[in-house]
C-alpha cells in the first residue's frame, strides 16, 4: 500500500484520442508562437492559444490546475517554467518558453517550445537548440531503451557531449506520465541516475521535457507561487513532447509527423498507433 504510484497504461484507442488532443495542441502552439513578436504581451500569446482550443472544442489542462490562472505558461528569459501570462511586453532578443496542453474527451496532451523574439543572442539560440536536441535524444531512448531511466541518461549524455560552455540541466522539474490527467506516474528525469525506473512497455505515455539553463541550476519560486526563476538570472529553455509507446514502436503525439523527421538522424522510425 506504500508502493510507487500506479502507472496508467492506455489502449491503442485511448492513445489515438490523445493523438487528437496532440493535433489540437500543435495548432494552438503554432498560433502562440506566431503571436510572440516584439511589442506583444505575454497575455496576447495566451489569447492566441486559447482561441484555437475553443474553436476545436478542446479545453486547457493548465487553466485552473491547482488554481493556475491562465491557459498556457509563458516563461521569459530567466523564468524557467510556470510563468503566468500578463501585461509584460516582449522586447527584441527575449527568449521564452511556451508550455501548454489540450484535453479532448478527457484525454490530455502536453508540449512546450522555446521561441526567441526578434534578433537572437547566439548563446540563447544555442541554449534552445541543445535543449530541443536533448529532448529528441530522450524520445529516441524511449524507442530504443528498456527503462524510463534510459530517457534521462540519454538527455544527460547528449547535453554533456555538446562542445562549448556547459549548460545546466534542471533537476527540480522533470517529465511525467500523461493520460486522463496531465501529471501522472512515472516521473521522467532529465539526467542520469542509478535508478532504472519502470520498464518502457506498450500503453505507456510520457511527457519528455528537458529544461536547460545557461548558468547554475538553482531556482526560486516568485511571490505569485508559480513562476520559477534562476537565482543567478541566467536564461532558460524548455522543450517538450508527449510520446506514446505501443506494441509496434513509439509515436510522438504532439509532433505533426509523429517525430519522423527529427528522429530519423537518431536511427528511430516512429510508427503510427495501430488500430485495435
What CA–CA distance (Å, rounded) separates 170 from 216?
9
Task: Decide if 115 contacts 125 (C-beta within 8 A).
Answer: no
Bridge-based pairing of strands 228-230 and 79-81 is: antiparallel
What CA–CA distance (Å, rounded) separates 244 from 44?
31
Q: Residues at the annotated binding site?
A: 82, 99, 110, 176, 183, 209, 240
C-alpha cell at 143: 524507442
Task: Decide if 227 contacts 82 (C-beta within 8 A).
Answer: yes
CA distances from 188 to 22, 35, 249 (A): 19, 30, 19
List CB contacts of 216: < 8 A, sequence separation 6 or more.
168, 230, 231, 232, 234
What CA–CA distance (Å, rounded) separates 218 from 129?
22
CA distances from 180 to 82, 111, 117, 134 (A): 21, 16, 34, 27
Q: Residues at the annotated binding site for substrate?
A: 82, 183
Task: Say which residue the cell 493556475 belongs to.
Answer: 68
Q: Residues at the annotated binding site for a divalent metal cation?
A: 99, 110, 176, 209, 240
**In this structure, what are the phi and psi dihedrals at residue 205, rounded to the nearest 5 degrees?**
-120, 130
Amino acid at each position: 500500500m506504500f508502493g510507487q504510484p500506479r502507472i496508467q497504461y492506455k489502449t491503442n484507442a485511448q492513445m489515438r484520442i490523445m493523438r487528437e488532443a496532440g493535433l489540437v495542441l500543435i495548432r494552438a502552439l503554432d498560433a502562440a508562437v506566431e503571436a510572440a513578436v516584439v511589442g506583444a504581451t505575454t497575455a496576447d500569446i495566451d489569447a492566441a492559444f486559447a482561441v484555437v482550443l475553443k474553436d476545436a472544442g478542446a479545453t486547457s489542462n493548465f487553466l485552473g490546475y491547482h488554481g493556475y490562472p491562465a491557459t498556457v505558461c509563458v516563461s521569459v528569459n530567466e523564468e524557467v517554467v510556470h510563468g503566468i501570462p500578463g501585461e509584460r511586453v516582449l522586447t527584441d532578443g527575449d527568449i521564452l518558453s511556451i508550455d501548454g496542453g489540450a484535453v479532448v474527451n478527457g484525454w490530455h496532451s502536453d508540449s512546450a517550445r522555446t521561441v526567441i523574439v526578434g534578433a537572437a543572442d547566439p548563446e540563447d539560440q544555442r541554449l534552445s537548440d541543445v535543449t530541443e536536441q536533448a529532448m529528441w535524444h530522450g524520445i529516441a531512448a524511449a524507442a530504443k531503451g528498456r527503462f524510463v531511466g534510459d530517457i534521462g541518461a540519454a538527455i544527460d549524455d547528449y547535453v554533456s557531449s555538446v562542445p562549448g560552455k556547459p549548460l545546466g540541466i534542471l533537476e527540480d522539474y522533470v517529465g511525467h506520465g500523461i493520460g486522463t490527467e496531465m501529471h501522472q506516474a512515472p516521473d521522467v528525469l532529465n539526467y542520469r541516475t542509478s535508478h532504472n525506473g519502470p520498464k518502457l512497455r506498450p500503453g505507456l505515455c510520457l511527457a519528455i521535457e528537458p529544461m536547460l539553463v545557461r548558468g547554475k541550476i538553482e531556482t526560486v519560486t516568485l511571490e505569485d507561487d508559480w513562476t520559477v526563476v534562476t537565482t543567478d538570472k541566467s536564461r532558460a529553455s524548455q522543450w517538450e513532447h508527449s510520446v506514446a509507446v505501443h506494441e509496434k514502436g513509439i509515436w510522438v503525439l504532439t509532433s505533426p509527423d509523429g517525430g519522423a523527421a527529427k528522429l530519423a538522424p537518431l536511427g528511430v522510425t516512429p510508427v503510427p498507433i495501430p488500430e485495435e
